[in-house]
Copies of this chain bind each other. A is one copy, B any other.
């Protein structure tokens, strides 16, 4: 594939005008001003378009598109206890398959090429990930507050094993299995230590919720006398490469612990605002040299998986909170949404457009009126764009989305099934 005469955001987030990109197989083989002679592959006209590396959504519960807008207007505990958990208890692998397809379609349309997920029914999610072509680090969100379950005899272990075997069998590096501990407030110390030890003895990454609400901090201190960050440190969790979602409430040594243990933060601004959790101290994290990335969280608390909105919100929010219009430049935001996340996912040849890297490329249509005029390409991309401006999403050299069409997703079938599932589950929930 040859992308001709395009404006490119390069690996340094500099804007290179009127250049050409050649993709061979899964990789970028050439970037430059010269158009290869007699090129006989597929040629894409890049005029008035801008190519950037694909975005990586580092915290998601992808099947939760099924619960979009469900139980709105309730306090958090009633929302979870009366609405979300009962609905989820009825979800099957097939339900999660369709929920994931819907979620992945939203991600493709908003430039996401890879995501980190934490949920259950991994077989359904895996099927959707496999079919669509998206990259994913999947994990089973282990929760057992009473410590009654034996991790190694439960679904989390079983499904993680299944995932690893599947990945081995099809010999792919597109899908990775991570280990997940849901959160401090949904687990007991003994299990957390055992699961952490298990993860540390593999090459899998860890994915957790961390310091999301004030209540979580308060309860953790009451139960264990330490902050959630210290709790996971003490349990050995951070010995694995860890992505910690939220980190709204960090204090004292928390920052240093996260940096020293190379913990990556998945900043989820929409979800943190919508659930009334608060606003994460992004500036302090960056000052402490913590690896920060961006996540949409699940659609139930967002209420979409639109990464463009999430990036835009992160870019705006912390300028206001810190009263500093120069904080988080467009280049810094780009890095947070791509390269930092690729590193966290363990994908060293992703997260930037350069020769030799995977061809994970997103193309914006800059011809749309609200993208005109172009005084500053990156500013338009971060502050003016919306997800419908994305006209092409390429993953490992394959076009997965183009001009409203999903290569590998039958959207009509997906929407039909989403509505069927919604009706069925609501009947079950209200019984």
Which A residues lie at the B interface, using CB under 8 A? 65-76, 79, 102, 105-106, 109, 214, 269-270, 272-279, 299, 302-306, 309, 312-313, 316-317, 319-327, 329-330, 367, 369-370, 372-376, 378-380, 383-384, 386-388, 411, 414-415, 418-419, 421-422
Question: With contacts A329-B73, A376-B69, A376-B70 known, is A319 near B384, CB below 8 A?
Answer: no
Report the Cα distance A109→B388, complex, angstroms: 12
A239, chain B: closest CB distance, angstroms: 33
Contacts of A75 in B (CB 8 A): 325-326
Report the Cα distance A60→B323, complex, angstroms: 22
B68 touching A317, Cβ below 8 Å = no
Question: With contacts A306-B386, A373-B418, A386-B309 known, is A277 near B76, CB below 8 A?
Answer: no
B68 touching A304, Cβ below 8 Å = no
A76, A304, A306, A415 pick with most chain B CB within 10 angstroms: A304
Report the Cα distance A210→B219, complex, angstroms: 42
Contacts of A317 in B (CB 8 A): 273, 317
**Copies of this chain held together in the complex:** 2
B70 touching A375, Cβ below 8 Å = yes
A313, A370, A372, A380 pick with most chain B CB within 10 angstroms: A370
Question: With contacts A324-B276, A373-B418 known, is A386 near B388, CB below 8 A?
Answer: yes
B275 touching A325, Cβ below 8 Å = yes
Report the Cα distance A418→B68, complex, angstroms: 39
Beyond contacts A273-B316, A309-B312: 7 other A-B pairs, Cβ-Cβ < 8 A, are A68-B380, A69-B379, A75-B325, A270-B316, A276-B324, A279-B321, A299-B384
User: Which partner residue on chain B sits nearest A423 by CB separation?
Assistant: B373
User: Which partner residue on chain B sits nearest A387 by CB separation?
Assistant: B386
Report the Cα distance A330→B303, complex, angstroms: 13
User: Which partner residue on chain B sits nearest A389 by CB separation?
Assistant: B388
Question: With contacts A270-B316, A313-B313, A369-B414 known, is A323 near B277, CB below 8 A?
Answer: yes
A375, chain B: closest CB distance, angstroms: 4
B370 touching A276, Cβ below 8 Å = no
Question: With contacts A75-B325, A106-B369 known, is A384 near B69, CB below 8 A?
Answer: yes
Q: Which of B69, B277, B320 contacts A374 (CB 8 A)?
A: B69
Report the Cα distance A367→B416, complex, angstroms: 11
User: Which partner residue on chain B sits nearest A308 by CB separation?
Assistant: B386
Q: Which of B109, B277, B373 contacts A320 (CB 8 A)?
A: B277
Report the Cα distance A258→B277, complex, angstroms: 30
B376 touching A323, Cβ below 8 Å = no
Q: Which 3 A-B pairs have the closest CB atoms?
A: A273-B320, A69-B379, A276-B325
